[in-house]
Structure 1
Amino acid sequence: MPRQHGAGGVERPSLRGVAAALTSLAALAAMSLVAGPAVAATGDAGPCALPRTAAHHSLGLDNWNGSYPRPDRTLDAVMVFLSFPGSEPALAPDVLSADYFPATTRFFQRASYGKFTLRPHPRQRWTRMPHPAGWYGIERDWDSGRRTAYLRDAIEAADGEVDFSLYDIVYLVADPDAPGVDSDATKVVNFDRPLRADGTDIRRVVTVFEQHPPDRNVLAHETGHVFDLADLYHRPTDGKGDWDTYVGDWDVMGSQFGLAPDLFGWHKWKLGWLDGRQVVCVQGEADLTLEPVSTAPVPGGSIGTRLAVVRTGEDSALAIEARSATGNDRTTCSEGVLIYRIRNGTPSGGGPVEVIDTHPDTQSCWDRSVYPPLADAPLGVGETFTVPGERTRVEVADRTPSGSWTVRVTTGT
């Protein structure tokens, strides 16, 4: 459905004007000239690195929350398969593990440019729970007492055969065919007080209740929470309405069904997959060549600039990145330069990221997109957009033969 224009809008100049602008801006970008002061963020900080706040899964990234494992190395995950009295599983554990691996490992290898490997260790037999699944009252908004009983019973039942001290991540996978198993209850549970097993603290577990086959990319989404990433979807207060108004298809933490589910460049910066060499903090005006965040680096080469950031306040920033039909984004609806807001004080599920729709009067891929109004959010070649409420303008000059995008960012500072 068409929507009203906001304060900002895409400027589409005449063909002659486009040609002149592209020639001028492409020449600047090709020579890597900086028309104004562009400050590159260094390491994990820099002038555009918002500070981490007390918000749940804060998107601040000046330091890492040490209670979460950081995926900058190989991490080991155990998969425990839970059966219940009165119900014999119809599927073998190896069938269920194949629903998630190696697909989830490959997702993170692509997203991290090979810097992180998730190494699964699926158990080869069922672990019997002491009560039927229905006894635990499994559902999305789970009674905390029953949920705690489920988790304690599961860890106790598996402890005799699993050395939990060997693993960084715990997946508890319920028999999908057992009566009382609700697929809507799949989530990560964080403990106020860690469970203790094999001399190690278990601070959180991923509880999996998916049907077979499961939702696409569901384990990548839940594993993102293990790494302190927030839910980016909007949950309607009455349970009805659209869940994908904040980010649409553009990050797996918004929707596991998204057409472009690779993690935002900001997430990759937070997780340590991008550093100061790939992030530019713009103050003034800068001409940049942005490599798409989903594109793998050339073998033997370095990762080029993947993210431009404009600091807009004490607790907010604009992020600018290129998205293309490569890697995890190979099924994307549209390609171009994506702009989104970051708010480090907004908690998980409250809208800490908001994709800015640079084409508010149109929508795309209505038959495939989780939220068609944002499916065509990126800017294309020859388009200019001024961000509503900010003094920031983004111009897309050209797309290089290698697939990068030449962009000019102008701020009001």
Structure 2
Amino acid sequence: MFALRLAILAGLTCLLAACRGLAEPGPSAGLQDTQACRPQRQQPLGLGFPIAADRLPAIGPLHAAVLFADFEDAPAERSPAEALAIVSPGAEEFFAELSGGRLQVQLHPQLIWLRLSQPQAHYAAGLTSFEAHLDFLQEAVDLADAAVDFSQMDLVLVLTNPDATGIPYGPAFTGFADHGIQADGVTIANGITSGSDLLHWGHLWLNHEMGHSLGLPDLYAYPGAAAAEADQFAFTGEFSLMGNIFGQAPELTAIERWMLGWLEDEQVLCLSNPGQWEITLTALEQQDAQTKAIMLPLADGQMLVIEARRPLGYDWRLQQPGALVYLVDTHRDSGYGPLRVLAPEGKLPGQAALQAGESLQYEGVSVQVLESGAEFDRLWVSFGLPD
């Protein structure tokens, strides 16, 4: 599967012998320019560079109008403030923490319930239609327009009555600069509506959907993807809330953070020429200026990424920490495996992180974990060398 050749080594014979002479590279130690590790995005909502122009910048203030909508067949019994508390301040704090303060999400709630004109089923039926979902958002905006200045808003969030069961889920609307929500002389290309699953997911639902507004794809398997037949989360297991919102490690991966500008180029080691290296990565969850990811470009828009994951921050429930290795494929669309964790034979993606004494090989790349600490992994990586 994925032409994968993976092997666990019970004892690494080169741990300190054959690997001892390798230099520990720093960000400026003659490694290739990071441009080689910026594959061009091939899908409207996929991995790669640059993020689509209609998606929101992930650095600086992000202003979101928050509207509250209910239905004649499901009038709200909670107050708007109670509904808002399901997502705020948790969603804002999540993005502030992961971005290192680079993204400041500011929610602007209009704390009244807006009564939509149709029953729940009408809006639920349109969630998979671009135009019908736009109409849903536009109706709520039109009802609120007299009281809200939308000209300063980057995004519209419509929180529907969370106790209304007729709308089972809440997706993101990813429109365009010339085809989106109209209000106060501007077009707002990004919107989100909630459903009853808000009570299940909590604020991480909003972080996931806003991830789409920022340009990130779904990493779980859509029903049409082959992997979905076995496991909806077969691609990424426990990692990244763009896959499994309730996974043990919901923090975004290194490639997602780099796309958003939340990792500096100096924190990424791009290995595009054959060689062998001994490299130390500090935990991705830890905010510091150290090296966070190793990236190795492969053929046809693919790239191998290595990062260190630890039970820190929002990943505090991670049961098997270690070096996470995954394949980025820019040709795969959202929901069809643009990111696939490489798990050693006999392990599930949720158990994929390599620990000290373990290794794997993939398409000429060999990764061995020499040492694991509470907040780091020391690795030996070889690429493109003869067997």
**Corresponding residue for 1:191?**
175
Matched, 1:130 2:117: yes
Cα separation, partners in 2 of 1:28 and 1:295, compared to 1, 3 Å: farther
Residues 134-145 of structure 1: matches in 2 within 5 Å? Answer: 134=121, 136-139=122-125, 142=128
**Superposed displacement of residue 275, structure 1:** 2.1
Residues 162-201 of structure 1: matches in 2 within 5 Å? Answer: 162-178=148-164, 180=166, 182-184=167-169, 186-191=170-175, 193-201=179-187
Matched, 1:376 2:375: no
**Corresponding residue for 1:368?**
none
Read off the aligned partner of 1:173 and give its amino acid letter. L
**Corresponding residue for 1:32?**
24
**Corresponding residue for 1:278?**
267
Read off the aligned partner of 2:150 and give its amino acid letter. F
Read off the aligned partner of 1:57 and give its amino acid letter. L
Matched, 1:21 2:15: yes
RMSD: 2.5
For 1:28 and 1:326, the matched residues in 2 are separated by 32
Read off the aligned partner of 1:404 and give its amino acid letter. F
Residues 354-373 of structure 1: matches in 2 within 5 Å? Answer: 354-358=340-344, 360-362=345-347, 373=348
Percentage identity across paired residues of the two chains: 26
**Superposed displacement of residue 22, structure 1:** 4.1
**Corresponding residue for 2:243?**
254
Cα separation, partners in 2 of 1:69 and 1:309, compared to 1, 3 Å: same
**3-state SS of the aligned residue for 1:88?**
coil
**Corresponding residue for 1:267?**
256
Q: Structure 1, residues 126-145: CA drift from partner, whole Å, max 9, x if none?
A: 122222323x2415864556
Matched, 1:99 2:86: yes
**Corresponding residue for 2:234?**
245
Matched, 1:157 2:143: yes
For 2:153 and 2:21, the matched residues in 1 are separated by 50
Matched, 1:315 2:301: yes
Give the aligned length.
375
TM-score (norm 2): 0.89
Unaligned 5+ segments in structure 2 are: none
Unaligned 5+ segments in structure 1 are: 298-302, 363-372
Cα separation, partners in 2 of 1:107 and 1:139, compared to 1, 3 Å: farther
Cα contact 2:343–2:352 (8 A) shared by 1: yes
Cα separation, partners in 2 of 1:335 and 1:149, compared to 1, 3 Å: same
Cα separation, partners in 2 of 1:235 and 1:211, compared to 1, 3 Å: closer
For 2:301 and 2:117, the matched residues in 1 are separated by 48
Matched, 1:294 2:285: yes
Deviating more after overlay: 186-195 vs 224-233: 186-195
Cα contact 2:127–2:171 (8 A) shared by 1: no
Cα separation, partners in 2 of 1:153 and 1:288, compared to 1, 3 Å: same
**Corresponding residue for 1:300?**
none
Cα contact 1:22–1:382 (8 A) shared by 2: no
**3-state SS of the aligned residue for 1:398?**
strand
Cα contact 2:162–2:199 (8 A) shared by 1: no
**Superposed displacement of residue 165, structure 1:** 1.4
Matched, 1:391 2:372: no
